[in-house]
Structure formats: structure tokens, C-alpha cells
Structure 1
Amino acid sequence: MTHDPAPGWGVLSDMDGTLLDTESTWLHVVERFVHDHDGADAAGLAAASEGLDLDRAAALLSERLNLDGPRSAVVHDLDRRALAAYAESVTWRPGAPELLRALVDAAVPLALVTSSPRHWVERFTRSVDLSAFRVMVTADDTTRTKPAPDPYLDGAAALGLDPSRCVVLEDSQVGAWSAVSAGCATVVVGDLARSLPPGVHRVPSLEDVDVRMLRAIAASPVSS
């Protein structure tokens, strides 16, 4: 019995807001933090924190709220609040588990590339099955996190693929810039009105994405 060779392309996927319904929880955590520190424009600061890792989010909030004390204390507080919020439940975004199963069935190599720390990912695996991913790149694994290209460059390298042979699934502007800067074809899921880097593909939901679509995107030249 012969088997088809593995495809010469792969998928690198963001986690929060793209695969898992956790981004809204994180934004609520940030809003609550801003309110508790008597800050204004909680919604605006939460939106500015979308896609950022804990350190970058803490730096943003420390600066905007003129907080005294070390940034590490803000990181610890945000981490504590987020884990408490995530303890309730973590669920898939619509279409995510079906797409992952289809990619696994098609032998497409997968890497998870997230700005969340590894202990958050480990917490989420209690609620959802992330075993489809051959590789996981977290905020703990790169010197520079999104919007720098490093996380997606590391994800592609770990799969043994050139970034131009990888399709990225993202939901944030920060993540889209990271992926495009890495030289990956990029599909952004969600709000189609947001400002994004040129050349990205936009879809309302992962329910609108399938293996055939991603294969076609992978085969197309990446816009520079």
C-alpha cells in the first residue's frame, strides 16, 4: 500500500481568538484591571492589548495608567486575573476543531504560534485537545514576540519549512503584522473592517476556511 507524500506546505495558527474563544476573556480582564486602577478608556486600552503578550500588555498599561512599582507586579496581577477567568471554561471558536481535523487528515503539518505563556497553553489543554499541533511556539520560546516576525519564523523552522510555504491563521492586527513580516501568507479571521497589512486574506470565520482554500493560498506567491 502506498501513501501520498506529505505536502510541502504547512499551517501556523494563532490560538487566542483564532482557535479558542479566549480573546474576549483576556480583553475583559484588561478592562477590569483599568477600572480597578481608576483609568479611563478601558475599552480602548483593552483593544490596544489585543494580541500582545503579558510583558507588552503590562508595559502598555503601566505607561498609560502611570502605575508606580515594577512592571513584574503588573505582569503577575494580569496573569493571576487571566488564569482565574480562564478557569471557568475554554471553548473552540466556530469551525476550529473541524478545520484542524481536516488538516490532520490531509497530513498538513501544524504549528501553534501564540503570544500566551506556556502555562496558559497547558491550562487550556485541560479543556480542549491541541494534540493536532506538531509544534507549539509560546511567548516563553522567543526573544521577541508578536508583532516581531520571530514567532512565525520559529514555527516555520520547527516544521522544516520556508516561511513562504506556510499559511498563517490569525485574528489580530498585531499577529497579522508578525506573520506578514515573517514572509508567510496570512489569513485573518473575524472583523473584516479592521486595518490590516496589505495582501492578507480575510474571512468572517474559520467555518469559511477549508484545506483546499489553504492549499491554494500556500501555492500562490506571497505578496511583498
Structure 2
Amino acid sequence: MPGPGRIAGVATTLEDPLSSHHPAAVLFDMDGTLVDSEKLWDVALQELAQEYGAELSAEARRSIVGTSMAESMRIMHDDLGQPERDPEISAAWINARILELFRSGLRWRPGAFALLRAVRAAAIPTALVTSSPRALVEIALDTLGRDNFDTVVCGDEVVAAKPHPEPYLTAARLLGVPIERCVAIEDSPTGVASALASGAAVLAVPVEVPLGRIAGVHQVESLTGVDLEFLAGLLADWAGATG
């Protein structure tokens, strides 16, 4: 597989000789992949734990990364030794607090904006595929840019959330592209499992939770330097491994 190159050195028009090898679409996770929002979730989760007179363990926090809100609340309540708590009440508290934190501003993850800009300049379709609910995603899109995505799939808009493949399969269907010609970019074990099960080529950028070696998944420390040529090479390797 070719190593990451400089985005500035890649032609980003449809006349690019590499264009026939480009992904049919690039499917981006949000939290921890495009924006550095996991730390904001840390704040909200720990504050709620304190409201309940307890403290969320580091192990439980790692397990929550990338999961649906319902699953996150189940993990949290069990970890706090309070499984009887109403998950809807806890979720409403978290959603309200995280909305406040998101409005205070989100920071791009290293290399994320440059890669998204290059993909859009090449007229490659893009999707945002996230476990976060629509209300929260709408706030995040003020930073991410609504015009940067052809479709958005939120965690509360699918029947089965990540790690089920439905979110990524839904994105590919809405874009009208074959999932096996897509590259999905993820950071969490839950998200990677979802993308891999969907049949997409997967690029992992682990941040909060180490992934270990996963067959068929290429990992990088950050998206800095990841460009169209890199994505084309990743897709070619995936096609060769599954073809």
C-alpha cells in the first residue's frame, strides 16, 4: 500500500489519472474521527456520574466510545452499580449537556479537514455516519459544514446502530454506490466493526481506544498526510483481499 502523501501534491479533479481508482464514496465517522469531541463526552459522562454520586470507570468509558446512546447508558448504569436507573432520563441529561458543550466549539482532528476538502474537490460523494443523535449532529455541522456531506446518517435514524452494519449500508444506499467501493474512516472498535461488517474498505484512526491488529483494517496515527492516492491504494488492497 502506498504511504500517505501530501494533499497539496495530489490533483483533485475528475481528470486525475487516479480518478478511475478512487472510492465510489468516502464515509466518515464523526466523534473522534473528524472532530475532537470525545473529550466533551468525557465531561458530560463524568458530570452525570457525579450527579448520581459515583464515578465512571476508565474501562466503562472506553467501552462507551462509538456506541449508541441506549447502549452507552446501559454500560454507564451497570458500571455505577445503578442498573435500575431510567436510560431515557440519563440520555436526556447527557444530550442537553453535550449540546451545550458542542455549541462552545469543536476542534478538527489532525488532517481531517484537509482530507475532507480534497475528497470534495475531487467530486467524490461523502457521507457522515455517526452514532450521535440528529439534534447533536446538527450542532456539529456548524463546524463540519453541511455542504461537505451528500448525506448524513445519525444514530437515532437507524434501526440497528453500530456495531451493526446498517449505518454504513444505509449511507451507501442513500448515495447510490456499492458499499464494497467505499472507504469508511473510523476511530473506535464499535465503528470499525460496523464498517467492516458492511463490506467497506476501512481506515482506522484510533484515538481514545487502542484497536490492536484487525484483519483487513489499515490503521494510521492521524489523517495528516492521508490523500486521494492513499485512499485509492487502500481500496485496491481491499478489493484484492476480498475479490
**TM, length-normalised to structure 2:** 0.83
Q: Spell out the pairing of 1:51-66 with structure 2 (5 A cutoff).
A: 51-65=66-80, 66=82
1:125 match? 141
Query: Aligned equivalents of 2:213 and 2:101: distance in 1?
Result: 29
- For 1:53, the aligned partner's letter is S
Query: Aligned equivalents of 2:118 and 2:101: distance in 1?
Result: 31
Query: Aligned equivalents of 2:192 and 2:55: distance in 1?
Result: 28
* Equivalent of residue 205 in structure 1, options 222, 227, 230: 222
2:113 match? 97
Q: CA deviation at 1:40?
A: 4.7
Gaps of 5+ in 2: 1-13
Query: Aligned equivalents of 1:196 and 1:115: distance in 2?
Result: 23
Assess if the C-alpha contact under 8 Å between 1:180 and 1:197 holds in 2.
no
Q: CA deviation at 1:218?
A: 1.9
CA RMSD across the alignment: 2.1
1:24 match? 39
Change over 3 Å in CA distance of 1:88–1:158 after alignment to 2? same
Q: Please state whether the residue corresponding to 2:204 is helix, strand or coil.
A: strand
| 185-194 or 107-116, larger mean C-alpha shift | 185-194
- For 1:60, the aligned partner's letter is I
| 153-162 or 41-50, larger mean C-alpha shift | 41-50
**TM, length-normalised to structure 1:** 0.90
2:178 match? 162
Query: Aligned equivalents of 1:135 and 1:203: distance in 2?
Result: 25
Please state if 1:85 is matched with 2:112.
no
Larger RCO (alpha carbons 8 Å, 6+ apart): 2
User: After TM superposition, which residue ranges in structure 1, 4 or more long, deviate above 4 angstroms?
Assistant: 3-8
Please state if 1:175 is matched with 2:187.
no
Assess if the C-alpha contact under 8 Å between 1:179 and 1:186 holds in 2.
yes
| 87-96 or 66-75, larger mean C-alpha shift | 66-75
Gaps of 5+ in 1: none
Query: Aligned equivalents of 2:85 and 2:40: distance in 1?
Result: 26
Q: CA deviation at 1:41?
A: 4.9
- For 1:39, the aligned partner's letter is A
Query: Aligned equivalents of 1:173 and 1:218: distance in 2?
Result: 20
Between the two proteins, the alignment pairs up a number of residues equal to 222
Query: Aligned equivalents of 1:72 and 1:122: distance in 2?
Result: 21
Q: Please state whether the residue corresponding to 1:119 is helix, strand or coil.
A: helix
Q: Spell out the pairing of 1:184-195 with structure 2 (5 A cutoff).
A: 184-191=200-207, 193-195=210-212
1:9 match? 24
Change over 3 Å in CA distance of 1:196–1:30 after alignment to 2? farther
Change over 3 Å in CA distance of 1:193–1:119 after alignment to 2? closer
Q: Spell out the pairing of 1:65-76 with structure 2 (5 A cutoff).
A: 65=80, 66-76=82-92
1:116 match? 132
Assess if the C-alpha contact under 8 Å between 1:35 and 1:42 holds in 2.
no
